Amino acid sequence: MKILVADKISPKGVELLRQQPGFEVIEAYNSTPEKVLSLVKDVHAIAVRSETQISAEVLAAAPLLKVVGRAGVGVDNVDVEAATARGVVVMNTPSGNTIATAELTFTHMLCGARPVPQAAASMKAGKWDRKSYGGIELFRKTLGVVGLGRIGGEVAKRAQAFGMRVLAYDPYLAPSRAKAMQVEGVTLDELLKQADYITVHMPLTDATKDMIDEAAFEKCKKGVRIFNCARGGIIKEMALVEALKSGKVAAAGLDVFEEEPLPADHPFRGIPNLVLTPHLGASTAEAQESVGIEIAEQIIDVLSNGIIRNAVNMPSIDAAALKILGPYLDLGTKLGSLVQQIAPQQIASLRFTYFGKVCEIDSNAITRAIERGFLRRISGEEVNYVNAPMLLQRLGVNVDVVKSNAECDYTELIAVEAIDGEGKSHSAQGTLIGKTAQPRIITINGRDVEVPAEGKLLVLENIDQPGMVGLIGTLLGKDGVNIADMSLSRITPGGTAYMVVLVDTEPSEHARKEIKNNPAIKLAKFVQL
């Protein structure tokens, strides 16, 4: 087995690979794309960090390649889709930088409380200015943690050790999990109003982009301190600039930015009460050693034992099986995503039911696909087919899988159901249609519909009265939104009806508000699959 270490990882990780019988290790750091293409022709594994690009061209040039291991979290430099098509495992090391990022966050918090960087710079400039650099304590202050995943949880532990009260906002976190961690689960508005310190630990998604904006700062205490070592773009940068200048925010610390490297003329660089670091979250000797050793161990497991950990795609089955399962995985992912988008944020349990031919195949991979689909707008790049069950468990969501022998109208059917804290069900069912096995949604919340499981959907429940189709068509037309397909469903005339509209583009916020505010509309959800 030949392993190409294309980017510099921990020497201990490289040595671990060299110690394996039958392994030949090639270290080729800072190679040109052309050099990489020439090196991969007979390799079985590639280890990278963020520098080397593993493109579709590189994958095509590596017929023996079985695994690409990324020593770190993001896999932006790996063409995951092309790797999956070629049956190549792509793995990362999502937990290796947890402690490093948590400690950097706490370092920023301490520098926000006590202006050590500014005082140090003053001393280096030959001054002795004690009056200008007074601070406050963390003890008995309130910390608001936005996102209580791995890193947010570690920050919460450290804050508790400092005698801080910890509030946590995580819309997908079960109350039982918050109680076990001895934090107070609150709404985002409550957190903003009560916190003396705020730190964000969410993935960057459509829902979290600019989550902390001008309106959010308005709700905060005067003199709040805020920190971001997660992803640039969660805190709206220009809103933070104004909040720092006005004194609404007393101090801030950032390790991540919307544009990296941070432009030389960015307003952040001129603000004295703002501490900046150049994306150092994982930049500790221990974290780099940890991810280097971890990715080496994972590569060894795949090549020697066939064990796959922290995969970001689904190649843990052979090519023949993947060909059969592929359409089911696609359908499962989309059903999971659909149900997550129509259900409330806090879910107590999930139930997946398989009918017909689906029961005859290994449904474990399909279950993972549904879980990944449900989580992908919640957990961002962290979620994959391997860690999805663990992430749901961390959120306190129970998963029940049922293979049913009950009769149904389809030869194969997948039903996904989310149960909220009040016992209410939110569900969707889907099947595969035609010789090409196209995924199709056939029910939403128990209502019969039929729309492709793809693209952008407007899901509406309305009073069954004349003119509703025309009303929606007119509103979307005024908004410049083209309707590609539509499905209508009702149980009894004059009751409520369902309308599922497949659109080419997302309706504007104004159009969506107009739809939701119509008294005849009982439910309006925009869903993106």
Show the tokens assigned to 96: 């290796």
Query: Cα-Cα-Cα-Cα dihedral of 255, 259, 260, 265, to 10°?
Result: -90
**Dihedral sign of CA atoms 314, 317, 319, 325 in order:** negative
DSSP letter assigned to residue 303? I
Rounded Cα distance, 236 and 371, in Å: 30
Nearest CA to 94 among 159, 149, 29?
A: 149
Show the tokens assigned to 236: 């709206």
Rounded Cα distance, 456 and 154, in Å: 37
Q: Are 102 and 110 in contact (CB under 8 A)?
A: no
Q: Are 525 and 500 in contact (CB under 8 A)?
A: no
| Helical ranges in 247-318 per DSSP H | 285-300
Contacts of residue 502, Cβ cutoff 8 Å, sequence gap at least 6: 451, 452, 455, 456, 457, 483, 484, 485, 486
Rounded Cα distance, 475 and 511, in Å: 7
| Helical ranges in 343-428 per DSSP H | 364-379, 388-394
Instruction: Give the 3-state secondary structure of residue 240.
Output: helix
Rounded Cα distance, 461 and 169, in Å: 30
Q: Which residues are catalytic?
A: 231, 260, 279
| Per-residue H/E/C for 47-69 | EECCCCCECHHHHHCCCCCCEEE
Q: Which amino acid is at 335?
A: L
Rounded Cα distance, 169 and 186, in Å: 5
For residue 259, the Cα-to-chain-centroid distance in whole angstroms is 19
Show the tokens assigned to 485: 């397909």
DSSP letter assigned to residue 221? P
Query: How far, CA to CA in Å, does 263 sit from each of 118, 239, 257, 376?
Result: 21, 17, 10, 31
Q: Which amino acid is at 40?
A: V
Q: Can you tell me which residue has the tokens 């040039």?
A: 61
Rounded Cα distance, 332 and 22, in Å: 39
| Helix or strand (DSSP H, E) at 412 | strand 412-420
Rounded Cα distance, 377 and 137, in Å: 36
Q: Can you tell me which residue has the tokens 């650099």?
A: 133
Q: Are 476 and 499 in contact (CB under 8 A)?
A: no
Q: Are 116 and 108 in contact (CB under 8 A)?
A: no
As separate numbers, helices (DSSP H) first and strands (DSSP E) second, the chain gives 17, 22
